[in-house]
């Protein structure tokens, strides 16, 4: 398991390909996406998934205005999380790994409805950078646990990978890292 | 022969190094509301001396010295100071340096560590929702939050250290409740500020509570926050936000200030025209940096002597950027698999397997706690809480966290002995988990023991 980073983003009026035009509180209908539930995976290679078999494009320039992500090949996924609970989301984590040497596959998660938090110094801007574990979707204090549309940007780690040319393969999985489970407790 | 080969390889490796490289540093484990320090190394890999200027990427962090000269093939050290006031769990703060050898290249490093929140529960916050301050609104009721921790016994709040001028804040009679109310002078629009309160524990002398609200004055925006979702370079990324006076009176719009936004704004009458109604045209420009857009529009309303704050969010991508649906990608992958893969199921089965890992029994006579768990991916450490009664005031008794073993089987067993008990006395224990993201979680219920 390699590096994981996260970042929040407002996205109530998402349009995947066309222009965004919001008027007086109404906006283009959000793109309908399947909720992320049971375990699954997606894989790719930022060196070769671009047009003509080349590196993917640099899609985003910065991480919360803090970390410079310019020049690194990236891929973008959209994902919808249903509300947590027995009738809703069952996925509890997102994890990324890579087999490419000298490439720290990093996942930047841009969830929805939290623009106010970022703009006002709230989470997750205080929780920047890489993680050495998966993103915990069960967290009660992190906005990634809330339902909504999110965007996952897959790229390199700015600090460790010297990201200007860093690319490689990645494997994205969800629901593989489970919440801690008690198996026994006694006091003698 | 071999020495020559190694020398050649070493020289080649050196030649590939960037002229300036950095090593990150670790500030260790700390509680919130503190400034932490560590030393990062910057190395000049070139044949020439270079002048290096360092900066913090985050607003309240610092780096010293600001500039330094580094001789060829030498290393200089910078003291990084990270403000972890509102961090929780695994935290990273970024810094960068630019050398006179390559002024266009920012070389990043980071200070990382783990920030332990003192308080139980999620990050404390009072969300007022919509607060009416305008025409015909009744005075908003105060709201409160009760703060507690099992980290220490007898936790109390002491005094308000810092609060926005438009909030009235006081501590409740129980010494653990913060009571907040809005003054009529509050700015209109979205508010997100911290109130800092001192505590009676040296572990973390202050705690902060985030106050959220959408203050509705007489002039109310049609939407706030203004959420663009995905935007693309070259497209018309525009939003029309209706500004309407609840009093039904016409109003003037003064200067409009933008924070963290490359945008154009224009205020026009509403269509169809109506008294007390204007429309703000907000267009994100292509000069906006790619990536997350998280900014603020502050609109001066001179007749009210007030500002209306709109929060703006979105994700700006290149025109041809492809956004894949993660679920559809997974479905395509699964349909392409001709033989079913059971890798995930096997891994889960392994993780749920009860294969305890032996751990040494600690010496002594005090109560011995034993527990076993599976799935430790998100666990930072275990905490032992103790009380004299089942429903009593529990407080932490292990000074150091018990760090997870994270065994390859996914199951781990632990033993911990409490050597601070009095023989013959009754004690209640339960175990809590501090997660990697700083959240606390109860792992067990309480169990009773009489100390030997």
Q: Cβ atoms within 10 A of the Cβ of A55, count?
A: 18
Domain extents in chain A: 4-14+30-174
Q: For position A131, what pLDDT does the model report?
A: 40
Which segment, A15-19, B134-138, B154-158, is predicted with the most confidence on average?
B154-158
pLDDT higher at A133 or B315: B315
The SS3 of residue B11 is helix
Residue B124: exposed, middle, or buried by beta-carbon count in 10 A (0-12, 13-18, 19+)? buried
Of residues B85, B431, B437, nearest to A185 (C-beta) = B431
Residue A160, min C-alpha distance to chain B (Å): 8
Average confidence (pLDDT) over B20-49: 91
State the Cα–Cα distance between residues B42 and B70, nearest whole angstrom: 9
Q: For position A111, what pLDDT does the model report?
A: 57
State the Cα–Cα distance between residues B205 and B118, nearest whole angstrom: 10
Superfamily of domain B219-317: Immunoglobulins (2.60.40.10)
Q: For position A164, what pLDDT does the model report?
A: 56
Contacts of B321 in chain A (CB under 8 A): 57, 59, 76
* Residue B240 CA neighbour count, 13 Å, CB half: 13
Contacts of B325 in chain A (CB under 8 A): 33-34, 77-79
Q: Quick one: closest CA in A to B343, which residue?
A: A176
At B313, the pLDDT band (50, 70, 90 cuts) reads confident
Average confidence (pLDDT) over B264-292: 93
Q: For position B213, what pLDDT does the model report?
A: 93
CB contact under 8 A, A21 and B239: yes
Q: Are B238 and B186 in contact (CB under 8 A)?
A: no
Nearest residue to B201 (alpha-carbon basis) of B160, B159, B155 = B155
User: Any CB–CB contact under 8 A between B361 and chain A?
Assistant: no
CB contact under 8 A, B227 and A10: yes
pLDDT at B334 exceeding the cut of 50: yes
* Residue numbers of A between 75 and 104 with CB closer than 8 Å to B: 75-80, 93
pLDDT at A13 exceeding the cut of 60: no
Contacts of A78 in chain B (CB under 8 A): 323-326
DSSP string, A50-114: SGGGSPPPP--SEETTTEE-TT---EEEEEEEPPBSTTSB---EEEEE--STT---EEEEE-SS-
> How, if at all, do strands B74-83 and B102-116 pair?
unpaired
A105-119, B148-162, B309-323: lowest mean pLDDT where? A105-119
User: Any CB–CB contact under 8 A between B89 and chain A?
Assistant: yes
State the Cα–Cα distance between residues B80 and B92, nearest whole angstrom: 12
Instruction: Check for a shared fold between B219-317 and B350-450.
Output: yes
State the Cα–Cα distance between residues B41 and B288, nearest whole angstrom: 33
Residue B23, min C-alpha distance to chain A (Å): 9
A27-31, B67-71, B75-79, B340-344: lowest mean pLDDT where? A27-31
Q: Where are the beta strands (DSSP E) in B84-205?
A: 89-99, 102-116, 125-132, 143-146, 157-162, 167-171, 177-182, 188-199
A161: phi then psi, degrees, rounded to nearest 5: -100, 0
pLDDT at B390 exceeding the cut of 60: yes
* Residue B101 CA neighbour count, 13 Å, CB half: 20
pLDDT higher at A131 or B301: B301
Q: For position A21, what pLDDT does the model report?
A: 32
Q: For position A3, what pLDDT does the model report?
A: 42
pLDDT at B353 exceeding the cut of 50: no
CB contact under 8 A, B325 and A15: no
Fold for the domain defined by B19-116? Immunoglobulin-like (2.60.40)
Average confidence (pLDDT) over A143-168: 70
| The token pair that represents B309 in the structure block | 């704050």
At B403, the pLDDT band (50, 70, 90 cuts) reads very high
Q: For position B74, what pLDDT does the model report?
A: 95
Instruction: Report CA-CA distances (Å) from A103 to A3, A75, A146, A156.
Output: 10, 15, 30, 6
Contacts of B444 in chain A (CB under 8 A): 182, 185
- B38-74 core/surface letters (b: 16 or more CB in 10 A; e: else): bebebbbbbeeebebebebbbeebbbeeeebebeeee
Q: Cβ atoms within 10 A of the Cβ of B134, count?
A: 18
User: Any CB–CB contact under 8 A between B446 and chain A?
Assistant: no
Q: Are A84 and A39 in contact (CB under 8 A)?
A: no
Q: What mean pLDDT is reported for chain A? A: 63
Mutating which of A77, A151, A180 best tests the B interface, going by the most B Cβ atoms within 10 A?
A: A180
Predicted ipTM? 0.74
User: Any CB–CB contact under 8 A between B342 and chain A?
Assistant: no
- CATH class belonging to B350-450: mainly beta
User: Any CB–CB contact under 8 A between B233 and chain A?
Assistant: no
User: Any CB–CB contact under 8 A between A146 and chain B?
Assistant: no
Domain extents in chain B: 19-116, 125-216, 219-317, 350-450
Q: Cβ atoms within 10 A of the Cβ of A123, count?
A: 23
Residue B352, min C-alpha distance to chain A (Å): 8
Which segment, A146-150, B112-116, B156-160, is predicted with the most confidence on average?
B156-160
pLDDT at A80 exceeding the cut of 70: yes
Q: For position A50, what pLDDT does the model report?
A: 79
Q: How many residues does chain A have?
A: 188
Contacts of A12 in chain B (CB under 8 A): 227, 229
CB contact under 8 A, A24 and B235: no
User: Any CB–CB contact under 8 A between B439 and chain A?
Assistant: yes
Question: Tokens 């793109």 map to which residue?
Answer: A31
The SS3 of residue A129 is coil
pLDDT digits (tens, 9 = 90+) for B53-100: 999 987 789 999 999 999 999 999 999 999 888 888 888 888 989 999
Q: Which residues contact B188 (CB under 8 A, 6 or more apart)?
A: B133, B134, B215, B216, B217, B219, B301, B306, B307, B308, B309
| The token pair that represents A38 in the structure block | 């049971």
Residue A106, min C-alpha distance to chain B (Å): 14
Q: Give, for B395, the enclosing helix (H) or strand (E).
A: strand B395-396
State the Cα–Cα distance between residues B410 and B393, nearest whole angstrom: 33
Contacts of A119 in chain B (CB under 8 A): 190, 192, 225, 259-260, 294-296, 311-313
Q: For position B387, what pLDDT does the model report?
A: 95
Count of pairs with CB atoms under 8 A, one residue in A, one in B: 349
Instruction: Report CA-CA distances (Å) from A181 to A186, B76, B371, B377.
Output: 15, 46, 11, 11
Q: For position A138, what pLDDT does the model report?
A: 61
Bridge-partner residues for A40, per DSSP? A174
Contacts of A22 in chain B (CB under 8 A): 223, 226-228, 238-241
A1-5, B195-199, B246-250, B318-322: lowest mean pLDDT where? A1-5
* % of residues, chain A, pLDDT over 90: 4
Q: Are B99 and B76 in contact (CB under 8 A)?
A: no
pLDDT higher at A168 or A33: A168
At A103, the pLDDT band (50, 70, 90 cuts) reads confident
User: In this structure, which CATH number among 2.60.40.10, 3.40.50.2020, 2.60.40.60, 2.60.40.350 belongs to the domain B125-216?
Assistant: 2.60.40.60
How many H-runs (helices) and E-runs (strands) does chain B carry?
Answer: 3, 32
Of residues B192, B241, B449, nearest to A187 (C-beta) = B449
User: Any CB–CB contact under 8 A between B17 and chain A?
Assistant: no
State the Cα–Cα distance between residues B60 and B54, nearest whole angstrom: 15
Angle of CA points B225, B226, B230, to nearest 5°: 125
Of residues B292, B326, B376, nearest to A77 (C-beta) = B326
State the Cα–Cα distance between residues A30 and B37, nearest whole angstrom: 44
* Residue numbers of B between 122 and 161 with CB closer than 8 Å to A: 122-123
């Amino acid at each position: 398991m390699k590096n994981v980073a996260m970042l929040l983003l407002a996205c109530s009026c998402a349009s995947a390909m066309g222009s965004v035009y919001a008027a007086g509180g109404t906006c283009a209908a959000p793109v309908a996406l399947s909720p992320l539930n049971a375990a699954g995976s997606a894989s790719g290679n930022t060196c070769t998934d671009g047009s003509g078999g080349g590196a993917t494009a640099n899609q985003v320039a910065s991480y919360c205005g803090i970390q410079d992500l310019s020049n690194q090949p990236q891929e973008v996924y959209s994902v919808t999380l249903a509300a947590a609970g027995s009738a809703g989301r069952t996925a509890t984590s997102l994890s990324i790994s890579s087999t490419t040497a000298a490439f720290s596959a990093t996942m930047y998660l841009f969830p929805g409805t939290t623009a106010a938090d970022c703009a006002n110094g709230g989470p997750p801007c205080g929780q920047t950078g890489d993680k050495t574990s998966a993103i915990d979707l069960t967290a009660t204090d992190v906005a990634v646990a809330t339902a909504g549309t999110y965007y996952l940007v897959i790229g390199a780690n700015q600090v460790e990978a010297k990201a200007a040319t860093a690319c490689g393969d990645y494997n994205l999985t969800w629901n593989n890292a489970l919440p801690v489970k008690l198996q026994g407790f006694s006091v003698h | 022969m071999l020495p020559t080969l190694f020398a050649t390889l070493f020289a080649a490796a050196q030649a590939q190094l960037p002229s300036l490289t950095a090593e990150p540093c670790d500030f260790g484990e700390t509680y919130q509301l503190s400034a932490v320090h560590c030393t990062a190394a910057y190395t000049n890999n070139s044949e020439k001396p270079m002048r290096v200027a360092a900066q913090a990427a985050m607003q309240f962090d610092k780096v010293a010295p600001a500039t330094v000269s580094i001789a060829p093939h030498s290393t200089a050290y910078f003291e990084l100071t990270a403000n972890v006031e509102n961090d929780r769990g695994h935290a990273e703060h970024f810094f960068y340096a630019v050398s006179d050898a390559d002024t266009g290249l920012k070389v990043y490093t980071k200070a990382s560590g783990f920030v332990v929140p003192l308080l139980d529960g999620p990050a404390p916050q009072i969300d007022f929702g919509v607060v009416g301050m305008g025409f015909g609104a009744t005075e908003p009721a105060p709201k409160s939050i009760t703060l507690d921790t099992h980290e220490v016994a007898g936790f109390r709040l002491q005094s308000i250290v810092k609060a926005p001028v438009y909030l009235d804040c006081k501590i409740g009679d129980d010494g653990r409740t913060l009571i907040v109310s809005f003054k009529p002078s509050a700015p209109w629009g979205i508010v997100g500020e911290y109130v800092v309160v001192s505590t009676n524990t040296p572990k973390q002398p202050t705690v902060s509570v985030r106050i959220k609200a959408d203050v509705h004055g007489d002039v109310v925006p049609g939407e706030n926050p203004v959420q663009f979702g995905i935007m693309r370079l070259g497209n018309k990324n525009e939003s029309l936000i209706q500004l309407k006076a609840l009093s039904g009176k016409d109003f003037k719009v003064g200067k409009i200030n933008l924070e963290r936004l490359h945008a154009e704004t224009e205020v026009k009458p509403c269509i169809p025209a109506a008294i007390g109604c204007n429309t703000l045209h907000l267009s994100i420009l292509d000069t906006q940096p790619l990536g997350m857009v998280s900014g603020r529009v502050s609109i001066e309303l001179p007749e009210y002597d007030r500002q209306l704050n709109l929060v703006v969010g979105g994700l700006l991508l290149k025109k041809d950027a492809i956004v894949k649906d993660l679920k559809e990608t997974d479905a395509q992958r699964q349909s392409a698999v001709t033989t079913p893969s059971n890798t995930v199921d096997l891994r889960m089965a392994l993780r749920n397997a009860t294969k305890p890992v032996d751990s040494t029994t600690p010496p002594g006579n005090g109560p011995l706690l034993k527990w076993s768990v599976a799935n430790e991916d998100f666990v930072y450490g275990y905490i032992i809480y103790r009380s004299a009664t089942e429903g009593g005031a529990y407080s932490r008794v292990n000074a150091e966290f018990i760090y997870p073993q994270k065994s390859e089987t996914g199951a781990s067993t632990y033993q911990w002995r409490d050597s601070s008990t009095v023989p013959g006395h009754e004690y209640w224990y339960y175990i809590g988990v501090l997660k990697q993201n700083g959240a606390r979680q109860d792992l067990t219920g309480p169990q009773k023991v009489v100390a030997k």
